[in-house]
Amino acid sequence: MAERQIILRVKHLKKYFPVMGGLFKRNQSAVKAVDDVSFEIREGETLGLVGESGCGKTTLSRAILQLDPPTAGSVELEGRELVNMKGEELRHIRARVQIIFQNPYSSLNPRMTIGRALLQPMIVHGISSGKEAEKRVSDLLNKVGLSPTFANRFPVEFSGGQRQRIGIARALTVNPRFIICDEPISSLDVSMQAQIINLLRKLQRELNLTYMFISHDLSMVRYISNRMAVMYLGKIVELGESRAVCGMPLHPYTQALWSAVPIPNPEIEEHRKRINLEGEVPSPINPPSGCRFHTRCPKAKDICEDIEPEFREVGPERWAACHMV
Amino acid sequence: MTQELASLQVSPVERVKYRGFWTGAWRRFRRNVLAMYGLVFVGFIIVVALFVPVLAPYPYDKIDLAHGLEEMSKEHLLGTDQLGRDMLSRIMFAARPMLLVGFVTQVAALLIGLPLGIIAGYKGGVFDWVVTRFIDFFSALPWYLIVLYLVMVLKPSLQNLILALIITSWVNQCRIVRGLTMSVREQDYIEATRALGLPTWQILTSHILPQVAPLALWGFAVGIPTAVFAEAGLSFLGLGVRPPQPSWGQMLGESGQWWIYKPHMFVFPGLMITLSVLAFQGLADGLRASIDVNVNV
Amino acid sequence: MLPLLDVRHLEVAFFTKDGVVKAVNGISYTLDYGDTLALVGESGCGKTVSVLAMLRLLPVPPAKIMGGQVLLEGHDLLRLKLDQMHTVRGSQIAIVFQDPMTSLNPVMPVGDQIAEAMQVNLRLGRKEALEQTEVLLQRVGLPNAANQLKSYPHQFSGGMRQRVMIAMAISCKPKLLIADESTTALDVTIQAQIVDLVKELQQELGMTMIWITHNLGLVARLAKRVIVMYAGYIIEMGLTKQIFANPIHPYTIGLLNSVPGIELTVDQDLQYIEGAPPDMIKLPPGCPFSPRCLYRSERCLTERPELVELTTSVAAACWNIDRVHNR
């Protein structure tokens, strides 16, 4: 396999939110939303990111995009360090990495025609203007499966699935290399979801895009991504090739997660053995000592409470953070 | 028929025609009776104020002591005041300072309050902190007394009245605009524009401003009757429009001595104040109902 | 043996200023004691509306029950006067909704809300009701039940609030429990906990269940029988195992194909259903699915297919079953 370029390299990324106490007291504690996360994404790849609420996946995507600058760590996009980049330089490089949002009803400006919403970023980045830009808008609309006549309409005239397509077109206006898809199908009906997923795959092939696909829908993530990362309370607990992570999960949390997902096959469901996790997810303000998962882990031992497991390579292209692996 | 082509024909649904926010708002406005009355009446007053030199039968300061305190008659349709000046003409001329106060104060309040509100609401930080303290300060004080005090200190005149009203009005605009900006800022599509690398000034003008505009317009509309009423009040006390320039409040004030015997002297100015304040309030209320900002459309 | 629930030709419409929305168009099914049924379909298919109509919870106007009967143990719920419905709701049929944020009263302690239902329906005194509530909260897995009685909904997490809703629903020991997308907003592991809890409770209390969901995995896990709805019609129904193994109707086939199964590899595209859900005001004549159906014929566009029992365990409404399955 030829060595593909690394599009995104995240090293020891941390994002803490200070919790202020009282009127003038300094930060008493912090919500450790993302706590020391490292991974790489290669060109043309789709990295899936799964986890439940509070695991930090959305905060991670905001931190990578510098929409919410990280507290510590580094984010390299095509070799250029994004953290601490400011002003014009940052604005410029934003064209290389885009985001598709979850909620199709709040991700488009309701007072702006979609044509204008698509033209704006092109003009701002000097990609094209005038008649040429309008043609590009038509092409983009075609590419995402919408008619170019829709350019004069407002978002309210479209359904959820159509709005997601518009959101995808908007992300493509600036010719990005890398797109973060933050739960792009969660708000859509099942039949719509499949349409959008196929569109994303088609665009990836045609335009050589790299994706980070965030979702809580494990089956979908397993299907669409080459590699998959599982997050829990701000840390990545397992990372590896998708089918391997799902077929043979190593980390107890991944095992529990996968066993909880209902599979649309009554025969399999009837005979599945399930791992039931006790309790609720602990608060990210006061995460458990040692391994964060130890309070709910069916395999926890004494060492898990004292020492935090290292995120290390436990097999070919497989990383996990667990003492038991 | 391949799946590709099929997905192009997206929905067999009839298009929901959407002509834009303001068209919808106007349609809703039209149905509100009080609002339409307001619109018509204000339009009428504006026309009168513009053409009064031509329309008025007498100049407002023509003194005719021989015919003072006369009742309504053919020569003087609404009678005369104590100096023999024609009531009708004076009432018509008084439309001018009223409109001046109403519109100028609110336009100025908008020009000051809107940008400050948007920037404070979007940026946050120290700037926002300072602006909020201003808002708190001015909101805590009874504005009418402030206006009164300022006018007395600065020498009563129309200009100073306007100035005093501007100083106390901009805060209202600023506050409501700031509040809305803060909530619009949290919407995904604003995040998207940041992610797309749009410069901040463009985000503020082409994305936030259109969302905030209806509310600012409503703040403008609501401030007018307040300003108009303040002018009437202060002129009544003799602290507003200086004679011989007429103002309904002033005329109302001057009619004090003769009110029992010559009701025409206070009835007509009073009526005009009532009708116009009602008209402006109707306009403002109609606006409020038609631009329901909670509908994200 | 009389079925617990017998729905006959239920029709519900909404009269709006844009037109009449034909939300439920003549659905019929029966539910035996102890059954677990899943109502599946996408948004707008009428699954929630049909159930709300049964409990007379729809606002009339704009909704109107246009026809049909809903027989609960032989008594037609649709003919009851509205103020008689309180004898049915809670004690005979209970429903757990999707969003516990808005289903619970935010200014009332949780214990009171549950006890209230028992006081009204079972005529218990307040002290007794609260004692029962504590037992219930423990049963649904809330730790420290005694203290939780006085807590407010906002102090709970999503999963815990759902447990409170379940406690409230089973407090009066209903015969039929309806779960309307109750786990859609929850995390996967919490969803699994809640689903298992409800299954246990169903066994313990001998309840009959209707699960309303669009999650096909949950259907496979939970339901013995499944009804697939589209545009207010039932287009396929029968034993879950049968339908998943051998879906008949093109919509069901499309739906099952839209969800990536375990065998699907990254190189294969998902087979999706083209087009979009229909406008419920202007439903096409003939089969409601025909605009999106790959197998449609002339007849489909003009004549609406009836639901036909193909075997004892499966029924479907389609003119071209042979064509669909002979490929």
Asked whether residue B4 carries a pLDDT value surpassing 60, the answer given is no
Cβ separation C274–B12 shorter than 8 A: no
Residue A317, helix vs strand vs coil:
coil
- Residues of the domain holding C295: 1-33+42-83+224-327
User: Between chains, do C275 and B6 touch, taking CB under 8 Å as contact?
Assistant: yes
Are the C-beta atoms of C120 and C194 separated by less than 8 Å? Answer: no
Partners of A313 in the beta sheet? A319
Task: Give the pLDDT confidence of C282-294 residue by residue, as tens digits.
Answer: 888 889 998 888 8
Give the pLDDT of residue B11: 40
* Structural domain ending residue among the three candidates C179, C213, C247: C213
Name the pLDDT band for B84 (thresholds 50, 70, 90): confident
DSSP C89: B
Amino acid identity at B179: G
The DSSP result for C238-285, as a single string, is EEHHHHHHS--SHHHHHHHHHS--SS--TTSPPP---S-PPPSSSPPS
For residue A142, pLDDT beyond 90: yes
* Structure confidence by residue, pLDDT tens digits, A238-273: 999 998 998 899 999 999 998 899 988 898 888 888
Q: Within a domain: residue C100?
A: yes
- Residues of chain C in contact with residue B14, where contact means CB-CB under 8 angstroms, are 279, 282
Q: Are residues C51 and C147 in the same domain?
A: no
**Distance in angstroms (rounded) separating the CA atoms of residues A286 and C188:** 23
C153, C302: one domain: no
Residue B102 lies in a domain: yes
The pLDDT of residue A172 is above 60? yes
User: In this structure, is residue B62 part of a structural domain?
Assistant: no
Check: CB of residue C97 under 8 Å from CB of residue C182.
yes
Specify the 3-state DSSP secondary structure of C26.
Answer: strand
Tens of pLDDT, residue by residue over A85-134, are: 888 899 989 999 999 999 998 999 988 999 999 999 999 998 888 899 99
Give the least confident one: A191-205, B33-47, B146-160, C218-232: B146-160
pLDDT at A175 over 90: yes
Weakest mean pLDDT among A213-222, A250-259, B164-173, B288-297: B288-297
C274 with B6: Cβ contact below 8 A: yes
Q: What is the structure's pLDDT at A74?
A: 94
CB A60 within 8 Å of CB A16: no
Burial class (CB within 10 angstroms; exposed 0-12, middle 13-18, buried 19+) of A127: middle
Residue A26 is predicted with a pLDDT of: 58
The mean-pLDDT minimum among A65-74, B7-16, C116-125 falls in B7-16
Please give the helix or strand (H or E) that residue A227 lies within, else none. strand A227-232
Residue B138 lies in a domain: yes
Query: Which residues partner with C239 through β-bridges?
Result: C225
Quick one: average pLDDT of A287-299? 89
Q: Which residue has the tokens 């995995």?
A: C217
When pLDDT is cut at 50, 70 and 90, the band that residue A319 belongs to is: very high
Nearest CA in chain C to A256: C189
At residue B296, the pLDDT reads 44
Amino acid, res. B145: L
**Average pLDDT, stretch A300-313?**
89
Range of lowest pLDDT (A151-155, B21-25, B235-239): B21-25
Residue C265 has what pLDDT? 66
pLDDT by residue (tens digit) across A29-38? 788 899 999 9
Amino acid of residue C64: K
Do the domain assignments include residue B75? no
Write the pLDDT tens digit of every residue in C243-273: 999 999 999 999 998 888 766 666 777 888 8
Burial B237-264 (b: 16+ CB within 10 A, else e): eebbbeeebbbbbbbbbbbeebeeebeb
> C158-170 vs C110-121: helix axis angle to the nearest 10?
20
- Taking an 8 Å cut-off on Cβ atoms, the answer to whether C193 and A269 are in contact is no
pLDDT tens digits for B187-237? Answer: 999 999 999 999 999 999 999 999 999 889 989 999 999 999 989 988 888
Q: What is the largest CA-CA distance in chain B?
A: 96
CATH architecture of A6-316: 3-Layer(aba) Sandwich (3.40)
Which residue, C230, C250, C226, is CA-closest to C314? Answer: C226
pLDDT at B76: 80
Nearest to A39 by CA among A240, A216, A181: A240
If you count residue pairs, one on A and one on B, with CB atoms under 8 Å apart, how many are there?
A: 90
How much of chain A, in percent, has pLDDT values that exceed 90? 58
DSSP for residue C4: S
Give the integer Cα–Cα distance in Å for A236 and A239. Answer: 7
Per-residue model confidence as pLDDT tens digits over C80-107: 988 888 888 888 999 999 887 788 888 9
**Residue finishing a domain among C213, C239, C266:** C213
pLDDT-based confidence at residue B1 (cuts at 50, 70, 90): very low
For residue B292, is pLDDT > 80?
A: no
Q: In the beta sheet, which residues pair with residue C318?
A: none
pLDDT tens, C42-69?
A: 888 899 999 999 999 998 888 999 999 9
Contact C276 B13 (CB under 8 A): yes
For chain A, what is the mean pLDDT? 90
Residue A27, pLDDT score: 56
Count the helix, strand and coil residues of chain A and give each as a percent rounded to the nearest 5.
35, 25, 40
Contact state of C275 with B3 under an 8 Å Cβ cutoff: no
pLDDT at A23 over 60: no
Domain with residue C49: its CATH number is: 3.40.50.300
Residue contact A103–B188, C-beta within 8 A: yes
Contact by Cβ (8 Å): A102, A62: no
Residue C175 lies in a domain: yes
Task: Summarize the confidence of residues A290-316 as an average pLDDT.
Answer: 89
Q: Which strand (E) or helix (H) includes residue C30?
A: strand C19-31
What is chain B written as a DSSP string? --HHHHHHS---SPP-----HHHHHHHHHHT-HHHHHHHHHHHHHHHHHHHHHHH-SS-TT---GGGTT--S-SSSTT-B-TT--BHHHHHHHTHHHHHHHHHHHHHHHHHHHHHHHHHHHHH-HHHHHHHHHHHHHHHHS-HHHHHHHHHHHT-S-HHHHHHHHHHHHHHHHHHHHHHHHHHHHTSHHHHHHHHTT--HHHIIIIIIHHHHHHHHHHHHHHHHHHHHHHHHHHHHTTSSSPTTS--HHHHHHHGGGGTTT-THHHHHHHHHHHHHHHHHHHHHHHHHHHT-TTS--
Q: Is the pLDDT reported for residue C113 higher than 50?
A: yes
Work out the minimum CA distance from A248 to partner chain B, whole angstroms.
35
- Residue B14: pLDDT band (50, 70, 90) is very low
* CATH number of the domain enclosing B166: 1.10.3720.10
Q: Which of B4, B11, B198 sits opposite A121 (nearest CB)?
A: B198
Tell whether the model's pLDDT for residue A192 goes beyond 80.
yes
Chain A residues with CB under 8 Å of B10 CB are 145-147, 159, 162
Q: Whole-model pTM above 0.90?
A: no
pLDDT band at B2 (very low <50, low <70, confident <90, very high): very low
Q: What's the structural domain count of chain C?
A: 2
Residues 27-86 of B with CB under 8 A from C: none
First to last CA, chain C: 41
Average pLDDT over residues B171-195: 92
* Chains within contact range of chain B (3+ C-beta pairs < 8 Å): A, C
Q: Is the pLDDT of residue B21 over 50?
A: yes
CA distance B178 to chain C (A): 28
**What residues have CB less than 8 Å from B207, skipping those under 6 apart?**
A109, A112, B189, B190, B193
Domain of B181 in residue numbering reads as 19-55+87-290
Domain count, chain B: 1
pLDDT in tens, B246-262: 899 888 888 887 777 87
CB distance B69 to B81 below 8 Å: yes
Domain check: are C311 and C280 in the same one?
Answer: yes
Q: Out of B196, B206, B296, whose CB is closest to A174?
A: B196
- Structure tokens that stand for B284 in this block: 């403002």
pLDDT confidence of residue A203: 95
Average pLDDT over residues A272-296: 84
Q: Where are the domains of chain A?
A: 6-316
Q: Are residues C56 and C134 in the same domain?
A: no
Here the tokens at position A67 are 């929409």
Burial C79-101 (b: 16+ CB within 10 A, else e): eeeeeebeebbbbbbbbbbbbbe
| pLDDT value, residue B16 | 54
**Which residues, 6+ apart, have CB-to-CB distance to B237 below 8 Å?**
B253
Residue B284 C-beta-side C-alpha neighbours within 13 Å: 18
What is residue C235's three-state secondary structure? Answer: strand
Dig out the tokens for C53 from the structure: 């109509």
Distance CA C17, CA B297 (A): 19
Write down the mean pLDDT value for chain B: 84
Q: pLDDT over 70 for what percent of chain A? A: 96
Least confident range from A58-62, B188-192, B239-243, C222-226: namely B239-243
Best mutation target, B9, B16, B27, to test chain C (most C CBs within 10 A): B9
Count CB-CB contacts under 10 A for residue A11. 15
Q: What is the DSSP string of A30-92?
A: EEEEEEEEEEEEETT-EEEEE--TTSSHHHHHHHHTTSS--SEEEEEETTEE-TT--HHHHHH
Decide if pLDDT at C304 tops 50: yes
C-alpha A273, offset from chain centre:
30
Q: Tell me what pLDDT residue C263 has.
A: 67
Q: For residue B13, what pLDDT is reported? A: 43
List the 72-131 stretch of C: residues with Cβ below 8 A of A.
none
Contacts of B11 in chain C (CB under 8 A): 275-276, 279
- pLDDT confidence bin for A72, thresholds 50/70/90: very high
Q: C213, C248, C266: which is the final residue of a domain? A: C213
Give residue B84's region: left, alpha or beta (phi > 0; psi -120 to 50).
left
**B32-49 pLDDT per residue, tens:** 888 899 999 999 999 999
Percent of chain B with pLDDT over 90: 35
At A24, the pLDDT band (50, 70, 90 cuts) reads low
Residues C107 and C124 in one domain: yes
Q: What is the dihedral of CA A23, A27, A29, A35, to 10 degrees?
A: 140
Q: Is residue C293 situated within a structural domain?
A: yes
Res. A61: pLDDT tops 80: yes
